[in-house]
């Protein structure tokens, strides 16, 4: 017995399933649902993960010249579903597509000509990929499935030694917005602050001026600039599953490395409402040391800032809203990576720093012409030694 895909609707399909997982292929935001094959042979099956987030992104088929013998589906999370039917026959095909920039535009099936099983399957994507596996179907009626938005959410049917029946559930409409909310991180700010996890001082400049012989007072002025990147990146499967063409909004109280008292960093919860999965900016540093050293004295100056690097895992609830207003949700984990900088601190004193803040790796400072910067003895007569370390 064959079913015309234009008339077999979801309510009819729900009668075919007896397994507890069948409900995942039953009710949902589907385009008009259809199936091809027998409704009274074999055992029902439902292949989907849509309530957990992943969608179908690949199909593999085995066939002989009588019917489709086996079928298997793969998902956007990289997993592979159960094998339905039994691998046999001399015809085989496989197709996969990236849902972020491709979708199904045609799904056509044929019966086996005896009302017992699926005879042939043809799929085509927007980028031109094709799957065409099955018996020779010349003269047989073909059945086109409504592919809706082109996003394959479930596949279902019946199986024995062959694929007795096959149908699909495609998302019925275009996605309007995706919201990631109820974000909960595995770590909390108090513990992170207590450990200062990922927070460290970074030396931007270090200067040592020594007027070791008597004579005149010496002077030196040093000016530097430096630019560092700050960023916050959210990564979870949904952002790849449905692609960047959809608006993804991250909302709620989320972990953040914030600036504390301008010159320090600390972890805190921050209210976030953003539609960007990656936020990048720059932090500009600039400083000038005006060094004055009397005979027989020395002076140490440094510039440093705190850098915070956080890679935190979290759980969330994803809400997908269609253009027609329908909303469905599923739980999903993800990771947020953040790089933040505080304001910089500059200080000078007559003894070296020993508080554990590292000095910049030694590097000789050069002028624009490749020579050492001149250290001017304004009044003359003094012997000068100087150590300078900095990062570009």
Stretch among 110-124, 252-266, 306-320 having the lowest mean pLDDT? 252-266
Global confidence as pTM:
0.71
Q: Residue 363's pLDDT is what? A: 39
167 pLDDT band, cuts 50/70/90, is: very high
Is the pLDDT at 378 greater than 50? The verdict is: no
| CA of residue 335 relative to chain centroid, distance | 8
Instruction: Give the model's pLDDT for residue 70.
Output: 98
Tell me the per-residue pLDDT of 319-352, one tens digit each, with 9 for 90 and over.
999 999 999 999 998 888 999 999 999 999 999 9
The answer to whether the CB of 1 falls within 8 A of the CB of 41 is no
pLDDT, average across residues 1-6: 34
For residues 385 and 77, give the distance between their C-alpha atoms in angstroms, rounded to a whole number: 61
pLDDT for residue 310:
93
Mean pLDDT for 17-32 is 73
Helix H segments across the chain? 10-13, 189-195, 237-241
In this prediction, residues 11-37 reach a mean pLDDT of 68
Residue with tokens 């399957």: 121
Predicted pLDDT at 107: 98
Q: Provide the percentage of residues in the chain whose pLDDT is more than 70.
A: 81
Enter the tokens of residue 182.
Answer: 């109820």
Are 244 and 276 in contact, with CB atoms under 8 Å apart?
A: no
Cα end-to-end distance, the chain, whole Å: 75
Total residues found in the chain within this entry: 392
In the chain the domains, ranked by start, together with CATH numbers, are 10-173 (2.100.10.30), 177-390 (2.170.15)
Checking if the pLDDT of 382 tops 70, the result is no
pLDDT value at position 7? 30
What's the pLDDT score for residue 262? Answer: 61
Q: Flag whether pLDDT at 3 surpasses 50.
A: no
Is 50 exceeded by the pLDDT of residue 234? yes
286 has a pLDDT exceeding 80: yes
Please give the mean pLDDT across all residues of the chain.
83
Mean per-residue pLDDT for 241-256?
Answer: 71
Query: Taking residues 8-37, what's their average pLDDT?
Result: 65
């Amino acid at each position: 017995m064959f079913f015309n895909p234009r008339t077999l609707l979801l309510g009819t399909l729900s009668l075919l399933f007896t397994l507890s997982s069948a409900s995942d292929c039953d009710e949902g935001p589907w385009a008009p649902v259809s199936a091809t094959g027998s409704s009274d042979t074999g055992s029902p099956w439902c292949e989907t993960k849509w309530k957990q987030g992943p969608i179908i992104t690949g199909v593999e088929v085995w066939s002989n010249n009588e019917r489709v013998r086996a079928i298997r589906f793969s998902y956007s999370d990289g997993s592979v579903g159960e094998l339905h039917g039994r691998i046999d026959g001399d015809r085989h095909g496989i197709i996969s597509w990236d849902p972020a920039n491709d979708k199904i535009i045609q799904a056509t099936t044929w019966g086996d000509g005896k009302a017992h099983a699926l005879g042939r399957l043809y799929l085509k994507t927007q980028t031109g990929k094709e799957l065409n596996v099955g018996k020779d179907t010349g003269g047989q009626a073909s059945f086109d499935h409504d592919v809706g938005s082109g996003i394959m959410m479930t596949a279902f049917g019946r199986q024995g030694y062959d694929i007795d029946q096959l149908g699909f559930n495609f998302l019925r409409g275009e996605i309007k917005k995706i919201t990631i909310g109820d974000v909960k991180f595995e770590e909390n700010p108090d513990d992170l602050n207590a450990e200062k996890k990922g927070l460290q001082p970074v030396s931007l400049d270090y200067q040592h001026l020594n007027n070791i012989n008597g004579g005149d007072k010496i002077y030196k002025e040093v000016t530097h600039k430096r630019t560092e990147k700050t960023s916050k990146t959210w990564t979870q499967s949904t952002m790849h599953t449905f692609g960047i063409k959809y608006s993804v909004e991250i909302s709620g109280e989320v972990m953040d490395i914030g600036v504390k008292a301008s010159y320090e960093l600390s972890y805190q919860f921050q209210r976030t409402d953003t539609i960007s999965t990656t936020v990048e900016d720059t932090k500009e540093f600039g400083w000038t040391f005006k060094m004055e050293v009397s005979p027989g004295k020395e002076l140490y100056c440094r510039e440093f800032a705190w850098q915070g690097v956080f890679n935190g895992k979290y759980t969330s609830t994803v809400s997908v809203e269609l253009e027609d207003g329908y909303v469905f949700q599923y739980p999903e984990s993800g990771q947020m990576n953040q790089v933040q900088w505080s304001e910089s601190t500059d200080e000078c004193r007559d003894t070296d720093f020993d508080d554990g803040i590292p000095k910049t790796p030694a590097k000789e400072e050069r002028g624009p012409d490749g020579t050492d910067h001149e250290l001017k003895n304004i009044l003359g007569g003094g012997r000068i030694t100087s150590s300078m370390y900095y990062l570009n």
